[in-house]
């Protein structure tokens, strides 16, 4: 039984180390997407064009990206990554800010996150 837990811990630790590089990359991608989305929002005079532009970004949010982010949430609780994603989640919620629990809820299930991103209407944003 002890070997099982030791092997499980070792495997999780190795996965975490392998995913940290992916998480750093994910953080950069998310910040870039946030900047792009903010630029799109600034130019959102044509809601149809804006919605199409935003839907193109949905394709960049892969299931593996969400899984890697969730692994990091569970193992490290990285404040910098979470605070980097909070503005994105705030936009999805049409709020001025978001909390870490909001981030975790939005990233819990890939299909729900992508569905919410596709349902966004820029003209309804405050």
**pLDDT of 46 higher than 60:** no
- The structure's pTM equals 0.55
Residue 7 has pLDDT above 70, yes or no: no
pLDDT digits (tens, 9 = 90+) for 51-85: 677 777 888 888 998 888 888 888 887 788 888 88
Domain count, the chain: 1
Residues 6+ apart with CB under 8 A from 96: 90
Whose tokens are 């996965």? That residue is 15
Question: Which CA distances in Å does 66 have to 39, 90, 91?
Answer: 24, 17, 18
Closest C-alpha among 85, 82, 72, 101 to residue 29? 85
Contact 106, 117 (CB under 8 A): no
- How far, in Å, CA of 25 to CA of 23, rounded? 5
Higher model confidence: residue 126 or residue 68?
Answer: 68
User: pLDDT digits over 95-109, tens only?
Assistant: 888 988 888 888 888
With H, G, I as helix, E, B as strand and everything else as coil, classify residue 60.
Answer: coil
Structural domain including 19 reads 2-124
Alpha helices by DSSP H, 1-126? 2-42, 47-58, 63-75, 79-93, 100-106, 110-119
């Amino acid at each position: 039984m002890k070997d099982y837990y030791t092997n499980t811990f070792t495997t999780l630790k190795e996965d975490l180390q392998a995913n940290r590089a992916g998480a750093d990359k994910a953080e950069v991608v998310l910040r870039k997407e946030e900047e792009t989305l903010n630029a799109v929002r600034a130019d959102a005079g044509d809601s149809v064009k804006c919605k199409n532009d935003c839907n193109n970004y949905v394709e960049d949010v892969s299931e593996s990206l969400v899984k890697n982010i969730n692994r990091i949430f569970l193992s490290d609780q990285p404040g910098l990554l979470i605070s980097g994603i909070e503005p994105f989640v705030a936009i999805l919620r049409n709020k001025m800010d978001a909390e870490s629990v909001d981030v975790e809820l939005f990233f819990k299930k890939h299909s729900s996150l992508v569905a919410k991103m596709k349902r966004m209407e820029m003209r309804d944003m405050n």
